């Protein structure tokens, strides 16, 4: 009898050979790549990846699964780290000191959004990321402004990454089948020259407050940070809804809030 999927870890094991092959082809791993797999599970993706590359780092929260993988592969081929990816310091990996990481994984859907925000903190250490996620989440990640799917996740990730939805995956490709469709997505960090300098915490505050009141106008949603006159000075209509404002305009708002804030003013409560 195989490993019984654990609900508390959000485990749905990918088993479809066709889908696995498509993922590997999308990643196109090459010898010398610093590949890190999040949540390898039973190793369905780990094995075909190790057919292409000599070494892989795997981060697995389930001790039983981690032990099984560690027993299957020698440590010089597969380094298994028992850890919660939500708390793991990816910059601590020795590979991250010498080359850009390539991060892959079938992410647990119950923690996908906070995990994506955590991984975004390491954008400058990453070459690309390929993930299996709930289709709805992927659509939100890649959404353009003024669409129903556009929101906080869209803005926060698009500030740092180019996001491409690659292909959909049906529930039957997993054990047990999830109740939703899934999709594979590629995130490629934008070059430093394309990322406007802005206080990251303040930017997050602006975006969170805007979409925390997405039924309100921007004037009302951001009233504690910037007034209608300030928005108008940026050429942004204060009567817009938060979903009608582009990531680039949210960056401009955050920069203006920082400029206008008095020394010592606390805008981050």
* pLDDT score at 12: 64
Domains of the chain: 7-192 (3.40.50.150), 200-260 (1.10.8.100)
Average of pLDDT values for 9-22? 78
Q: Residue 259's pLDDT band (boundaries 50, 70, 90)?
A: confident
Average of pLDDT values for 185-189? 97
Confidence check: pLDDT of 264 > 70 = no
d(CA 220, CA 240): 10
* pLDDT score at 6: 45
Give the CA distances from residue 21 to residues 4, 89, 172, 181, 235, in Å, rounded to whole numbers and listed in that order: 24, 29, 16, 18, 48
Average of pLDDT values for 124-130? 96
Average of pLDDT values for 208-213? 91
**Percentage of the chain modeled with pLDDT above 70:** 93
Backbone angles phi, psi at 193, to 5 degrees: -65, -20
Residues 6+ apart with CB under 8 A from 63: 82
The tens digit of pLDDT for each residue in 18-54 reads 999 999 999 999 999 999 999 998 899 999 999 999 9
Q: Residue 2's pLDDT band (boundaries 50, 70, 90)?
A: low
Residues 6+ apart with CB under 8 A from 96: 34, 90, 122, 125
* pLDDT score at 260: 77
Q: Residue 171's pLDDT band (boundaries 50, 70, 90)?
A: confident
Confidence check: pLDDT of 147 > 90 = yes
* pLDDT score at 194: 85
């Amino acid at each position: 009898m195989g490993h019984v999927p654990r609900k508390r870890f959000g485990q749905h094991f990918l088993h479809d050979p066709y889908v696995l092959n498509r993922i590997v082809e999308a990643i196109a791993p090459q010898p010398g790549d610093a590949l890190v797999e999040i949540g390898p599970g039973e190793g369905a993706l780990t094995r075909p990846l190790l057919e292409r590359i000599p070494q892989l780092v795997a981060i697995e929260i389930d001790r039983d699964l981690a032990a099984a993988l560690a027993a299957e592969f020698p440590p010089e081929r597969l380094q298994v780290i028992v850890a919660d990816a939500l708390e793991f310091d990816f910059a601590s990996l020795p590979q991250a000191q010498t080359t850009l990481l390539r991060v892959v994984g079938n992410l647990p859907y119950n923690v996908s959004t906070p995990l994506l925000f955590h991984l975004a903190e390491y954008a400058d250490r990453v070459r690309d990321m390929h993930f299996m996620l709930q289709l709805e989440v992927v659509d939100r990640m890649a959404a353009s402004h003024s669409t129903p799917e556009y929101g906080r996740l869209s803005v926060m990730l698009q500030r740092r990454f180019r996001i491409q939805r690659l292909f959909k995956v049906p529930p039957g490709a997993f054990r047990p089948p999830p109740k939703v469709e899934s999709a594979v997505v590629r995130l490629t960090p934008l070059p430093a020259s394309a990322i406007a300098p802005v206080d990251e915490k303040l930017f997050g505050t602006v975006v969170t407050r805007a979409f925390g009141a997405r039924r309100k106008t921007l004037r009302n949603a951001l009233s504690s940070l910037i007034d209608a006159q300030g928005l108008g000075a940026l050429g942004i209509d204060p009567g817009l809804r938060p979903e009608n404002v582009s990531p680039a305009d949210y960056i401009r708002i955050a920069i203006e809030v920082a400029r206008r804030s008095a020394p010592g003013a606390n805008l981050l409560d």
